[in-house]
Structure 1
Amino acid sequence: MADQTARHAAPPGGTPGGDGGMPSECVKVESNIDKLKRRIVMNSRPLKRIFLFLTVVFVMFLMHAMDLLKVQDKVHPVIFPHFERQRNPTFCSFRRLSPEEAAEEDLILKSIAWPETPPLRPPRTIDDSSDPAHSSFVILPRAGGGQWLVGDRLEVVVNMSDFHGRPKKYGGDVLFARLHNRALDAGVAGEVLDHLDGTYSVVFPLPWEGSAQVEVTLVHPSEAVAVLRRLNREQPDRISFMGLFRSGSLIETPLCSVCLRPTRRPLCDFTDVRTGEPWFCYKPRNLSCDARIKHARGKFTEALRAREEKLFQRGVNLKVFIQASGPPEVTVLSRKTGRSTAKSGRVVSGASGFYHQGVWRSLGETPVRHFNTTSAVAQCLRNKVVHMYGDSTIRQWFEHLINVLPDLREFDLHNTLYSGPRLALDPVNGIMVTYRCHGPPIRFTVPTSELRYIANELDGVAGGANTVVVFGIWAHLETFPVQIYIRRLMSIRGAVVRLLARAPDTVVVVRNANPKNLTLFDSQTNSDWYSARNNKALAAIFKGLNVHLVDAWEMTLAHKLPHLLHPEPPIIHNMMNVILTSVCSRMR
């Protein structure tokens, strides 16, 4: 059963049933009028009776009109029930928040706020924006002097300039930083601090012995971020969605979204009755709302203004390396002769982990176990039920397990591979793995009977020590105002809290977004800036819960492989090690 219900919206001016004849109330009114007129003429009663008569007629007419309005209200429901728009100056619809959630949302919005950037209006041009070719970074000397040691913190200062070579006076650029050693297949992400004056600090842990080379990348100039911010505010419908409505041979495909532009056309309301998550379609002209059978992605509408595309040029200002003004690398020595350098890397840093010999190692308290054989993976998941919910980056994990475990066989449920639901069973080891995509907005073609919200699915999970729940939702919501993402995560969090209350031993794993290969199109639809901001919101919302985070962002950023929407197998293998460590942390 689908999680959404349709409330009909009939065309304006319709009347409820009837054969076109005069309503009985009107016949009675007309009859009373004739009788009263005759009495007035025959008896010449005082004018006050005429006034009384007119008053009675007016009241009867008013009561009849109110009855019609009540019927029309049933045919034409309020277009946006249960949603607030005052707090969000946009044409999008938002799930209503409790006072506590509203206060929390305000705090999250403040914590993820990005510096404002002066607009590129005449006389300012693209040449006044950040230019990686004229910018540089420098490695600061070690605090206290001497040689670099494993466990130290390496600090780098980045100085941004525009295309004229003039130092920038404000911040807001999107920078990535990585420390790596190709020979050791080692890498770690740096933490970037914006000083809001055109300079940035980057802090790296030094977790391995040997050479460590700094790499700084300009992902977006601050002027491009101003464009991305405007797109989500003014053009959240630049990727459209459609509903397929069908009755016999009659088919209609109206637009659907949480951000439908106001028109006089009535809407079909497919708001989820349990979570309150909004979703609407323009009502088909000749079909009812109940005739919807599929959800699909529509087209992309270019929303950039004149010359704004110059802010997203590959090889110029889109994911371009910034050169060092001095030596780009340092040599790191071991603190103690004979000590394992990979295990000694416990430093105070924002990084969650690092690669060494191609293997992801945690910088936290819990070391990551390595499940390098089929038997090790099967032993960890024996007698387990693993439920996976989310987008295609979660589906990638489902398919990885099928490829790794030879006895894990997928059953053909005659559904699309993209959306699911999908089911795989390993009868030898008693393993069951499921996958289902999240609810709209989603850029897949999905039968409406299979559109499910993660929160509702979690409420249907019994849970327990042999149950693992994995979810991730991010890529399909990045063109919308961030409040829509925050509120979706709050809804999911509520379901997680309920699950852990009834079954505390359930293992819950959440995945954040990862950086991607960016083009002009990708920047407008799935920019790394959108992902980084949403990741901060996700971390804040699930903070303090017994939920295990797979930091896909750092695990992709720190790796030598290129950034892709769907990370390559070596990265996926390491992500699976993190998941299995969470599942089997009690096993020896």
Structure 2
Amino acid sequence: INFNFWEVLTLFLSLCTLKVTIFSRKHENWPIGSIAPCMPKDGLTEREKKIKSVLKEMDQLVPNVTFTNVNTTTSAKNSVATILNHKDTYCIGDQLTVRLDMYDNLGNRKKYGGDFLRARIFSSTLKAGTSGRVEDFNNGTYLVNFTLFWEGNVALSVLLFHPSEGVSALWAARKKGYEKIVFTGMFANGTSAVFTECNFNVTTKAKVCEYLDHRDEEAFYCIKPDNVPCEAFIQLKSQNKPISYLSVLEKGLFDRYLIEIGMTPDSIVISFFLTDSKTLSNGKCKIGMRSPSPSGYVWQNQWNPAFCTLSNFKTTDQINACLKGKLIYLLGDSTMRQWIEYFIRTVRSLTYFNLHATGKVQTMVALDTARNIQIQWKKHGHPFIGSSEYTVKAHKYVSREIDSLEGNRDTVIVISLGQHFRPYPMDLFIRRVLNVRKAIERLFLRSPDTKVIIKEENTREMSIDPERFSDFHGYMQYLASKVLFQGLNVAVIDAWDMTTAYGTYDVHPPDHVVWNEINMFLNYIC
């Protein structure tokens, strides 16, 4: 039989689709909640190989430990921080090195690492702060290196968020499933509504509506309501499901988290006077620059990058001059939505345009027709977690949103992913970021002048449910994001490092922190 090229291609794609459907329902290695692409001979697509590679890198950073008694786990109270290079005065740019010696609750020296720590030096009077870089020697000893950025006194804080045993338990629990969050989907049925369960993974003998993106290997499912088509799916909301993959013993580790590690007796008071005012930056902030660790510091509540010099957009006229003629797309979660809300509140020439969308989580648009400015925020695709309902009719994955944009020198795209991915296995986040990277690469092929900025996720509340939303999960995603976006000509706003330096513990940081993120953004695009 003779086939022309298009017939062969159509047949191939049909077989791919058929294979996806069969494997997602029947094959033991592809349960409901997964997509099985047409496989090469070695059984893995390039995307799957990359996901596996990054997961392996992440696994190597996490201890694999077990314990039978909470008393043998790391104790902040018994652990000690010692300044190794103590001097009476330091110069701006000097390093301050602190050694951490970790002990368990019985007073025994820890013999392995993996504790989740957060280190910071700060001055409340000067409204200054910066993070410390932690080096783990995997034997109970850590070195924390601080760069001294400002003139004045500093205090030092090292917090034990989770002991290594807790880190190991959280990482193992994260791999076990998608059931910690359940979604309720609303299907329109004439003048009434029908509600059903939705998720990335649905175990049922009933019919299932499959919402598949074959190219990007993304999948979401709803149990199909009776006598209602899958196309009638219009709204979604979520709630925590009463399920845990932690044992009772493991849960006990998180009753005492976030405790400050004490200083040695001769180093309880830390007070340094920094004398040299030499600059540490390297010219104006530009897209494509790579940042060190720490990436900057706070002084008088203003963020200062360590690798470039910021201009401060202090007035509305300066902001308007920068934004004039720009088409700005903010894609991500509610920490990204804070930006457009801030713009609407503070730049009076911008007008909020009501799109009359249903649900509380709506696409937002701000316009300045005189200056031809448009700013738009859109939520990222599944999973978008929140008890408020939102429409799924304008619901796209970020990669598809990027694909829909032509791009040009006046187009700016800002992307923020992370907070809503914390309750799920890490491969979901890695897959999503990989797909976003591919979309950015396609964008740069058709429009290399388009500006793309990645806003990393920020720290959040200390009291949050650790199994679902711990900053440990966010930190692992932060590290993975750095690896996955490496080599692209994009700018990065290191919100993780910024919120650590500010000492904020709120998923929605205060206005002065949001403004400093935006100020960094304005410097990149103008």
Match of 1:323 in 2: 262
Q: Aligned partners of 2:89 and 2:260: how far apart in 1?
A: 27
Letter in 1 for 2:260: F
TM-score (norm 2): 0.87
| 2:55 corresponds to | 109
The equivalent residue for 2:482 is 539
Aligned to 1:294: 235
Q: Do the aligned partners of 1:115 and 1:171 also contact (CA within 8 Å) in 2?
A: no
Aligned equivalents of 1:85, 1:419: Cα separation in 2? 36
Identify if the C-alpha distance between structure 1 residues 195 and 485 changes in structure 2 by more than 3 Å, giving closer, same or farther. same
Match for 2:138 among 181, 196, 207?
196
Name 2:301's counterpart in structure 1: 358
Q: Which amino acid is 2:104 matched to?
A: D
2:472 maps to 1:529: yes
- Per the alignment, residue 120 of structure 2 pairs with 178
**Which AA in structure 2 matches 1:118?**
V
Is the counterpart of residue 514 in structure 1 residue 458 in structure 2?
Answer: yes
Q: C-alpha displacement at 1:175, in angstroms?
A: 0.1
Q: Could you tell me which of 214, 220, 230 is aligned with 2:172?
A: 230
Deviations 1:225-258 (A, max 9, x none): 2221232222421111122123236644222111
- Aligned letter for 1:465? R
The answer on 1:158 being equivalent to 2:70 is no
Give how far 1:111 is off: 2.8
CA change 1:508–1:174 in 2 (3 A) is same
Give the Å deviation of 1:83. 10
Aligned partners of 2:501 and 2:483: how far apart in 1? 22
Report deviation, 1:285.
Answer: 4.1
Unaligned segments of structure 2, at least 5 residues: 1-16, 283-290
1:85 and 1:191 map into 2 onto residues whose CA distance is 41
Q: Is the 8 A contact 1:179 1:215 kept in 2?
A: yes
Show CA shifts across 1:416-473 (max 9, x none).
Answer: 5753222110123221111111111111422221211111111111111111111111
Q: Structure 1 residue 412: deviation in Å?
A: 1.1
- What is the CA distance between 1:332 and its match in structure 2? 4.1
In the other structure, the counterpart of 1:135 is: 79
- 1:148: how far off? 2.4
Structure 1 gaps of 5+ residues are: 1-72
The residue identity in structure 2 corresponding to 1:110 is K
1:466 aligns with 2:466: no
**What's the TM-score once normalised by structure 1's chain length?**
0.78
1:259 corresponds to 2:204: no
Q: Which is greater in Rg?
A: 1
1:529-568 equivalences under 5 Å are: 529-560=472-503, 562-568=504-510
Whole-angstrom distance in 2 between the partners of 1:353 and 1:82: 52
1:397 positional shift: 0.7
CA contact (8 A) 1:243 1:296 kept: yes
Inter-partner Cα distance in structure 2 for 1:453 and 1:378: 30
Q: 1:85 to 1:352 in 2, by over 3 A?
A: farther
2:512 to 563, 566, 570: 570
* Identical pairs, percent: 30
Matches within 5 A, 1:434-453: 434-444=376-386, 445-453=389-397
Tell me the amino acid that sits aligned with residue 176 of structure 2.
E
Q: Which amino acid aligns with 1:324?
A: M
Instruction: Report the CA distance shift for 1:274/1:345 in structure 2 as closer, same or farther (over 3 A).
Output: closer
The answer to whether the 8 A contact 2:33-2:220 is kept is no
| CA shift digits 1:101-143 (9 cap, x unpaired) | 33433332233223324223xxx2222211211112111126x
- Quick one: distance in 2 between partners of 1:459 and 1:118? 43
Shift of 1:389: 0.9
Following the alignment from structure 1 to structure 2, what is the Cα–Cα distance between the partners of residues 266 and 441?
22
Partner Cα distance (2:254, 2:95) in 1: 33
Q: Deviations over 1:370-397 (max 9, x none)?
A: 1121111111101111111111011011
Question: Where does residue 241 of structure 1 map in the other structure?
Answer: 183
